[in-house]
Amino acid sequence: MTELKTTVSEENTLSVKGYRLTKFVGEGAYAKVYLSEFTGKDDSKVTLACKIIETSKAPKDFVIKFLPREIEVLIRLNHPHLIHVHSIFQRKTKYYIFMRYGENGDLLGYILKNGCVSENQSRVWLRQLALGLQYLHELEIVHRDIKCENILLTANFNVKLSDFGFSRFCVDEEDEPILSETYCGSMSYAAPEILRGKPYQPKPTDLWSIGIVLFVMLNKSMPFDDTRMKKLYDQQMGKKYRFRSKVASVISLECKFVVKHLLEPDPGLRHTATQVLGSDWVAMDSRLTTLNAVEAAALQKAKEERKKLSDSHRVPPKRQGDILERDHKETNRVSEMIKSLANLTAKQNTRTD
């Protein structure tokens, strides 16, 4: 088990806010993830995941570009099929992101343990992912790292898309579209236009990735050979994927149609999230053809937010403080985070340049 190296004052900061780290879960290049417990003012307790990012160990590009984007996106999200952020705050060079804990692990772990996902269950989960993407894309946000490992399962076995480390807005301050140039995410889930290494429209790449997720759920294997990039690209462009015979014989034509249009190598012809939600495959379960109250409210809120997005998502920084606590104005928290990251980067430049 990895221990958290915190000072007494840092532990006190967490405690005052109601948080206690309980167990190490895993780590990436610049972050560690812990289970944590939050105690509310009424003494109620909830288990959360806590992602701790140590900016002093991260490259400047991450600190000044990707981390601000991730936090700016996270504080804007409020959708039942996207990970819910409880709070975000900063302590010196560390950023603490407390979020909903996936009680049943991630989708990859589920598939490895239980095998292929039935078509009926795949339909439910893909619809939830498509609703999450429809909401994100309405806000002009792209995820850019959708894969089975980033899809969490709740206690009730609903899915939540997580890990927004590569996410970004896809319009600029003038509301003009921005092409992506970064090679993002995992090669196995990357659309062919990403592999070409040229600027690309980012929204269709999210749809390609959920097409890969759908194929993996149904088939318990990747659709393309990803051992070499050129071979992967050639297979993608040639639509050379095949379901295993025992799977192909039982899944519906409507399901295969959705897979076909998500794994369409031409991004201009690839289906959108709205087209997936309106597909005959989703309609095969009449319960899935209408939004529940929470889903409908989230989409409506996104449409309203979209109207003012270009005016509100670039606010000049004012002061340092907590970045996100759900009782405060969230836009100011973005400003505080950007200023804090700029200050940290300036100090690191002074030490290293």
pLDDT in tens, 85-124: 999 998 888 999 999 999 999 999 999 999 999 999 999 9
What's the CA gap between 52 and 40, in Å, rounded? 21
- Which residues lie below 8 Å from residue 102, measured CB to CB, with a gap of 6+? 49, 152, 153, 154, 160, 162
What's the CA gap between 270 and 6, in Å, rounded? 48
Q: What is the pLDDT of residue 92?
A: 86
Rg (the chain; Cα; Å): 21
| Of 28, 24, 29, nearest in space to 5 by CA | 24
| Of 210, 237, 207, 235, nearest in space to 223 by CA | 235
Sign of CA dihedral 183, 85, 74, 192: positive
Q: What is the pLDDT of residue 315?
A: 55
Residues forming a β-bridge with 32: 27, 52
Residue 63: both structure tokens together: 């600190």
- Catalytic, 145? Answer yes
| List of the chain residues with pLDDT < 70 | 1-6, 309-353
**Residue 138 near residue 78 (C-beta atoms within 8 A):** no
Neighbours of 288 (CB within 10 A): 17
The burial of 346, by beta-carbon neighbours within 10 Å (0-12 exposed, 13-18 middle, 19 or more buried), is given as exposed
Residue with tokens 């950007």: 338
Q: What is the pLDDT of residue 172?
A: 85
pTM, two decimals, is: 0.86
Write down the catalytic residue from 42, 106, 145, 266: 145
The burial of 120, by beta-carbon neighbours within 10 Å (0-12 exposed, 13-18 middle, 19 or more buried), is given as exposed
Instruction: Find the length of the chain.
Output: 353
Report the Cα–Cα distance between both ends of the chain, in Å, rounded.
Answer: 36
What's the CA gap between 204 and 264, in Å, rounded? 10
The mean pLDDT value of the chain amounts to 88
What's the CA gap between 276 and 129, in Å, rounded? 10
Q: What is the pLDDT of residue 143?
A: 97
Cα angle: 218, vertex 27, 82; to 5 degrees: 50
Q: What is the pLDDT of residue 223?
A: 97
Phi-psi region of 115 (alpha: psi -120 to 50; beta: other; left: phi over 0): left
Domains identified in the chain and CATH numbers: 8-100+315-352 (3.30.200.20), 107-301 (1.10.510.10)
What's the CA gap between 122 and 104, in Å, rounded? 16
Q: What is the pLDDT of residue 325?
A: 59
Residue with tokens 């190598």: 265
Q: Three-state SS for 9?
A: helix
